């Protein structure tokens, strides 16, 4: 049986162990750049997946990630940052990692073959119709990911599948299939390298576009961030200052008045009469700052 691309050895790896450190690093870096470039061929699918994920969260559903090994680590990195960066409630994001938290101390390969655990994880998470599953696997044949898809599909979830080989079983039941056709690895089968790099980029693109669609980004600022430490409180003040054209001390006062909400603080700076009024403006505009600002401006102009 022919090897899949993710199991093949990159032709540039011949004699790799005999080369100078500088040449080895150059070749490894070039392979990473090629892997990153593969994402550009999947942007149409990533856009569709992002819309599906955004619609899920906007409709009150949950977003779940399911993967094993290094693909699971890429998924976990993306999922864990959504609440802090974009203010998405933690209970709206579910991480299904083959082997569970205990496996993080040692990424044993046996976990990815546990199909019964995948089904149990879906059940334990209480995922239902209206939720969305993002399943990731470099090969596209990982039993844990496939079993998670099967169980999720039976429950009526929408499915986004990401793999680094084309025409794989993971794509058969997917609502959106994202094929990241990365080159053969410089270390054959070590998908933590090129395949993992492409997965990380694709997930970053997917979730960032999702956040933009949900109204959590305004002119390149993360206006829905959760400012729960000194660095992020300072960032929140800088965002309010930049968008509202006020100084940092005024921005800090506006944030205090808004209960820490960056969007509400910006609306207060724009003339909202109270934090409650700002909150209502956001609610009536699906938490999107730009239309809320437009509505506030129009209301002032009509007086």
Concerning whether 7 is annotated as a catalytic residue, the answer is no
Tokens of 178: 């994202």
The C-alpha atoms of residue 179 and residue 13 are separated, in whole angstroms, by: 24
Contact 283, 293 (CB under 8 A): no
Residue indicated by tokens 């040449």: 23
* 240 closest CA partner among 260, 266, 218: 266
DSSP state of 22: H
First to last CA, the chain: 75
How far from chain centre, in Å, is Cα 255? 27
Q: Which helix (H) or strand (E) holds 67?
A: strand 63-67
Q: Which one of the listed residues 7, 30, 34, 81 is annotated catalytic?
A: 81
Clarify whether 181 is annotated catalytic.
Answer: no
Q: In what order do the strands lie in the sheet containing 63-67?
A: 93-97, 63-67, 132-137, 158-163, 176-179
Strands 221-222 and 158-163: unpaired
3 state SS of 41: helix
- Helix (H) or strand (E) run with residue 221 in it: strand 221-222
Query: Which residues are identified as catalytic?
Result: 81, 112
């Amino acid at each position: 049986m022919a090897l899949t691309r993710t199991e093949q050895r990159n032709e540039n790896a011949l004699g790799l162990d005999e080369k100078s450190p500088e040449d080895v690093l150059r070749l490894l870096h070039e392979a990473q750049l090629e892997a990153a470039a593969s994402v550009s061929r999947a942007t149409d699918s990533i856009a569709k997946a992002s819309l599906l994920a955004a619609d899920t969260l906007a409709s009150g559903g949950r977003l779940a990630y399911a993967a094993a090994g290094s693909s699971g680590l890429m998924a976990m990195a993306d999922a864990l940052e959504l609440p802090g960066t974009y203010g998405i409630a933690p209970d709206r994001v579910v991480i299904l990692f083959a082997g569970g938290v205990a496996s993080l101390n040692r990424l044993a390969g046996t976990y990815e073959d546990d199909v019964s655990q995948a089904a149990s994880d879906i059940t334990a998470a209480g995922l239902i119709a209206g939720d969305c599953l993002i399943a990731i696997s470099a090969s596209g044949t990982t039993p844990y990911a496939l079993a998670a898809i099967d169980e999720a599909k039976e429950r009526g979830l929408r499915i986004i599948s990401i793999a680094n080989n084309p025409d794989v079983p993971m794509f058969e039941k997917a609502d959106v299939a994202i094929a990241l056709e990365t080159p053969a690895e410089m270390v054959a089968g070590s998908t933590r390298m090129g395949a993992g790099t492409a997965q990380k980029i694709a997930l970053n693109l997917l979730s960032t576009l999702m956040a933009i669609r949900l109204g959590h980004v305004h002119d390149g600022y993360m206006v829905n961030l959760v400012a729960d430490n000194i660095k992020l409180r300072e960032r929140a003040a800088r965002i309010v200052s930049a968008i509202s054209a006020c100084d940092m001390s005024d921005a800090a006062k506006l944030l205090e008045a808004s209960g820490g909400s960056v969007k509400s603080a910006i609306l207060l700076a724009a003339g909202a009469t109270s934090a409650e009024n700002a909150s209502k403006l956001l609610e009536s505009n699906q938490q999107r700052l730009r239309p809320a600002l437009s509505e506030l401006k129009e209301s002032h102009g009509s007086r």
